[in-house]
Amino acid sequence: MRAFISYSHQDVGALERLHVHLANLQREGRIETWYDREILAGDVLEGEISRELEATDLFLLMVSPDFIASNYCVEREMQRALERHDAGEARVVPIIVEPCDWAAMPQLRRLKAVPKDGEPISEWANANNAYLNVVQEIRRIVDAGDSVAPEPAYDDPAPAAPQQDVPRYRVQQDFDEIDRSEYRDAAFAMIKDYFRRAIGEIDAVDGLRGRFVDRGANSFGSTVVNRGRQQGTAHITVHCRNAGFALGDIYYSFNENAGDNTANGAFNVSSDEYEQFLVVTMAMFGNGPERLNPEQAAEYLWNKFIEQAGIVHA
């Protein structure tokens, strides 16, 4: 199957990473990709691109803010791809690379986007899992041997988390108990969202299963199963300190539905003259990192959790 990759040159890194993950399909001779860097010196650019637009079986659109901003990508390549898709001559697959306003484009919103649920690759906890999900969908298309039947569209995806600006200055300040409580609650919400998204990634990997359980404002749980290992099941319950009994600001137990009076480890909110952060306490794995922001704490805890099922981040 011949695939035309439409992309913005600002996203060349994502293009190269996609090719890495497509290597098996290419080695098997089951897919052949073409993009504008295949044009030889001296060739007429528009002529070569037009020829490929008419000859390809599969269009892979690498959708990003730069892709949407490119008139050539949208009005020339994507438009012709969609015309051939609607005529039943080819298939169009949007690959969501970065958060962008793609769902506001009716032409794309009606199509099934990848990775899973149209969540941007850059938003996955491990980008390799996102690319793996993309390639598994492409392999499914190739296996079906049917490049023309359109896929049903997903519902509009949940909005991506807003990007946080990086401060340019550090300002000394004193932190009171309200600051501490607000930081703890925001950190817990981020860790909870990280686990929810990461469980979705686990479910997209062959041989693995995941389950996320929201137990209310101050608690959640997760389970992962590694079917390739006899004792490949891991559980975790995470609690956020509330008005009652607590073993830390954010504490966790590697048991399913663990009560709030037990813990294998915890994070506590600390601070210096400039900022608040989390420190690892009661760690069953020995000393943890000295200071973590909420995203780093989420990744640290996730990795300790999945290691118990024989899974590691690639």
Query: What's the CA angle centered on 300, arms 278 and 221, to 5 degrees?
Result: 95
Beta-strand ranges (E) seen in 11-145 are 32-34, 58-63, 91-96
Query: 273: which 2 tokens?
Result: 């003259």
> Residue 61: which residues within 8 A CB-CB, separation 6 or more?
6, 7, 67, 73, 77, 78, 81, 92, 93, 94, 95, 108
Q: What does the pLDDT read at residue 124?
A: 92
pLDDT of residue 125: 87
Question: What is the tens place of the pLDDT at every residue in 24-83?
Answer: 998 888 899 988 754 443 333 566 788 888 988 999 999 999 999 999 899 989 999 999
Token pair of 271, please? 């601070």
Q: Is the pLDDT of residue 270 over 90?
A: yes
Confidence bin at 158 (pLDDT 50/70/90): very low
Report the distance separating Cα 143 and Cα 58, nearest Å. 13
pLDDT band at 155, cuts 50/70/90?
very low
Contact 184, 178 (CB under 8 A): no
What pLDDT does 166 receive? 46
Per-residue model confidence as pLDDT tens digits over 74-89 = 998 999 999 999 888 8
In this predicted structure, the answer to whether residue 148 has a pLDDT above a threshold of 70 is: no
Whether the predicted pLDDT of 168 surpasses 60: no
Query: If you average pLDDT over every residue of the chain, what do you get?
Result: 84
Higher confidence at residue 153 or residue 309?
309
Contact in structure between 183 and 107 (CB atoms under 8 Å): no
